[in-house]
Amino acid sequence: MQAFLAFADHYSYVITILLMVGGLYIVVSRSNMVKKLVGLSIFQTSVYLLYLEPAKIVGGTAPILAPDFTVYSNPLPHVLILTAIVVGVGTLALGLALVVRIHEAYGTIDDDEIKPQDGG
């Protein structure tokens, strides 16, 4: 029981790391560029969880001031992650534009098929 409770307390970190490792594995092992970008955004979203999970207080409420509440979750990680989400979609859009351009130039979006065309 003790071990289970300790595991439950750290469950959010375990899942955060699972998402991070899953994203890393996709980026490193897959040669398809769209899949690589999806892996990159999974890696990025795992960092959102890493920031937001510690900000929560059980029994607290969203950080909007109201007379009936006294306990609020930490607002600073929310602000940082808001910025990160918007920047994330910017990088995804730029990456996908590059992929479309590469497809126009090489006729493929697979890393392993591009290298022979470049003579490498």
Partner 1 sequence: MEAIINMALLTLLGVVTLAIVVQRSLLSVVILTSIYSFLMASVMIVLDAVDVAMTEASVGAAVSTVLLLGALYLTKSREETPRRSRALPLLLSLAVGAMLVWGTLVLPPFGTADTPIHQHVAPRYINDVMGEVGIPNIVTAILADYRGFDTLGETTVIFVAGIGVLLLLGGLRRQDPEEGTPEDPS
Query: Which two three-digit tokens encode residue 120?
Result: 């490498």
3-state secondary structure of 61: strand
Q: Which of residues 11-50 bind partner 1 (CB under 8 A)?
A: 11-15, 17-26, 28-32, 34-35, 37-39, 41-42, 45, 48-49
Q: Is 1 or 108 the residue whose CB approaches partner 1 more closely?
A: 108
Among 28, 53, 52, which Cα is nearest to 40's? Answer: 28
Q: 39, exposed or middle or buried, with CB in 10 Å at 0-12, 13-18, 19+?
A: buried
Q: Which of residues 62-91 bind partner 1 (CB under 8 A)?
A: 62-66, 71-79, 81-83, 85-91
Whole-number minimum distance, CB 70 to partner 1, in Å? 9
> Quick check: 52 binds partner 1 (CB under 8 A)?
yes
Q: Is 1 or 64 the residue whose CB approaches partner 1 more closely?
A: 64
Q: Which of residues 100-119 bind partner 1 (CB under 8 A)?
A: 100-101, 103-106, 108-110, 112-113, 118
- Residues in binding contact with partner 1, number by CB under 8 A: 86
Whole-number minimum distance, CB 101 to partner 1, in Å? 5
State how far the Cα of 6 lies from the Cα of 67, in Å rounded to an integer.
Answer: 35
Give the number of other CB atoms < 10 A from CB of residue 23: 21
Dihedral-angle region of residue 29 (phi above 0 means left; psi in -120 to 50 means alpha; beta otherwise): alpha
State how far the Cα of 94 lies from the Cα of 88, in Å rounded to an integer.
Answer: 10
Whole-number minimum distance, CB 1 to partner 1, in Å? 15
